């Protein structure tokens, strides 16, 4: 089962080990966010959790650069990946 590592527009990162749709909906409700601006997909949960812990230590400006490298407009990516 794949795992997903994602950031929302508040720069909160989380690892989801579930179906993306159900996990992202739970994440959105729990943290009152309405936009998915960045994500990575992992086949190995251990690797994803290691990456999540690494990113949580990053400074805010590093996270912004990571997001803007792939999503400079900060558009909501959720509709694109749940098609």
- Whether the CB-CB separation of 42 and 3 falls below 8 Å is answered with yes
Vertex 52 angle, CA 17 and 58, to 5°: 160
SS3 81: helix
| Total length of the chain | 83
Tell me, yes or no, if the pTM score tops 0.75. Answer: no
Quickly state the pLDDT bin for 1 (edges 50, 70, 90). very low
Average pLDDT, the chain: 75
What is the rounded radius of gyration, in angstroms, for the C-alpha atoms of the chain?
A: 12
pLDDT at 7 over 60: yes
Sheet holding 36-42, edge to edge: 13-16, 3-8, 36-42
The region of weakest confidence among 1-5, 60-64, 77-81 is 1-5
């Amino acid at each position: 089962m794949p795992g997903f590592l994602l950031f929302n527009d508040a720069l909160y990162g989380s690892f989801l080990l579930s179906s993306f749709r159900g996990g992202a909906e739970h994440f959105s409700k729990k943290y009152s966010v309405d936009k998915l601006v960045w994500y990575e997909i992992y086949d190995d949960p251990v690797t994803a959790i290691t990456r999540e812990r690494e990113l949580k230590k990053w400074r805010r400006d590093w996270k912004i650069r990571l997001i803007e490298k792939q999503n400079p407009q900060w558009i909501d990516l959720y509709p694109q990946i749940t098609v």
